[in-house]
A and B are shown apart, each in its own frame.
Chain A
Amino acid sequence: MTIRLVGVSASYPTLRVIICLKELGLPYELEPPASYQSLKDEDYIANKHPFGKTPVLFDGDFRITESRAICRYLASKYQGKHNDTILIPNDVHKAGLVDQFISYELSYYDPPLLKIVYQKKFVKNFLNKDPDPEIIKQAHEELAKVLDVYEKLLEGKEYLNGEYSLADLVHCPGTYCVYGAGHSDLWDSRPNVKNWWNRLCNRD
């Protein structure tokens, strides 16, 4: 039975799961919800996501929500089954560090990214208002400090944990969004970060 993914590919948490499915060589069907508002319907909340979010993954009768949890589940279940791609190393110490880098992405990297995406995409396209330049400026500065740390973390390494892993993957969709929205200098002005991002972009 094919995996079903409820979400839209423009949403970057959904995109995280899509990249993960592709990396593991897993076929899937994408099922966009009827509308953004339908995520708050009683039926969606009861049967898909109790907090009214996407993505939601159905693997047969099994339902799981939250993009990073979904990715971990897919890696646990399918890694090595369809191809040789390793997203979470089998070694407990290496896996621990991958988890650590996923947490850095969640705690430090994603929040300023989300603020920029919210202002430039959501506020503009859905609320029909002008993005707040002050919020964007602060988020840009916050992200600059985070990328200073990443510049050191990536010293002498091609990927966050040495080899490509789920930790690098989770960074892709948000970075792609903000990089293309006029903030590319944040990545391009830091050599290790720039090389890392180029490497990630060049993956199929």
Chain B
Amino acid sequence: MTVKLIGFEVSPGVLSVMMTLHELGVPYQIENPASWQALKDEDYITNKHPFGKVPVLCDGDYKITETRAICRYLVSKYQGKNNKTILIPNDVHKAGLVDQYISYECSYYTPPVAKLVVEEVFHKTSNPELVETSQKEIDKVLDVYEKLLNGKEYLNGEFSLADLLHIPFTHFIFSATKHADWWNKKPNVKQWWDRISNRDCWKKCVEKIKF
């Protein structure tokens, strides 16, 4: 039975799951809810996501929500089954560090980037004050990443789920805002971004983005 992914192909969370599915070679079908408002309907809340969010993944009778949890589940179940791509290493110490970098993404990187993307790209509003505070915050985070990436091609040395989860929101910065230079002026960060955004699986996802 094919894996079913519920969501919109513009939601960064949905895009992260799509990329994970592509990387692991797992076929899937995407099901768009009727509208963003439909996510607050009683039926959606009861049967899909109790907090009214996307993505939701159905694997046969099994349902799971929350982007990072879905990605980890897919890796646990399918990694190595359809191809050789490793998104979470088998070694417990390396896997621990991938988890740590996923936590950095979640706690420090995504919040300021998401705030800016939601405002400028999804709501299409211009807010110079937000741009100023975002730049300061994102700059501090990227300074840390610049050091973390010293001598490394990817956050944990080899490409992993941690790098993947950074891609969708950053893609919107590069493709739909004027702030790419905040990343490009830091050499390690720039090279890391070029590397991860050029993965074939990401290019396949970009083709599917629907606003």
The listed residue (A51, A68, A97, A152) touching B50 by CB distance below 8 A is A152
- Verify B103–A68 contact, CB threshold 8 A: yes
* B107 at interface, CB cutoff 8 A: yes
* B121 at interface, CB cutoff 8 A: no
Q: Interface residues of A toward B: which range? A: 20 to 34
CA–CA, A93 to B65, complex, Å? 12
The listed residue (A50, A51, A70, A76) touching B92 by CB distance below 8 A is A76
Question: B100-119 vs A: 1/0 string, CB under 8 Å?
Answer: 10111011100000000000
* A107 at interface, CB cutoff 8 A: yes
Interface size on B, residues (CB 8 A): 30
Interface residues of B in 60-100 (CB under 8 A from A): 62, 64-70, 72-73, 76-77, 92-93, 95-97, 99-100
Known: A99-B73, A102-B69. A51 touches B108 (CB 8 A): yes
* A96 at interface, CB cutoff 8 A: yes
Contacts of A102 in B (CB 8 A): 69
Contacts of B108 in A (CB 8 A): 51
The listed residue (B65, B96, B102, B103) touching A76 by CB distance below 8 A is B96
One of A15-23, A27-35, A59-67, A121-129 contacting the partner: A59-67
CA–CA, A6 to B20, complex, Å? 34
Question: B130-163 vs A: 1/0 string, CB under 8 Å?
Answer: 0000000000000010011000000000000000
Residues of B within 8 A of A (CB): 50-51, 62, 64-70, 72-73, 76-77, 92-93, 95-97, 99-100, 102-104, 106-108, 144, 147-148
Q: Can you identify 17 A-B contacts, CB atoms within 8 angstroms?
A: A51-B104, A66-B99, A66-B100, A66-B107, A69-B96, A69-B99, A73-B95, A73-B96, A73-B99, A96-B73, A97-B64, A99-B69, A100-B66, A104-B51, A106-B106, A107-B66, A152-B50
Residues of A within 8 A of B (CB): 50-51, 62, 64-66, 68-70, 72-73, 76-77, 92-93, 95-97, 99-100, 102-104, 106-108, 149, 152-153
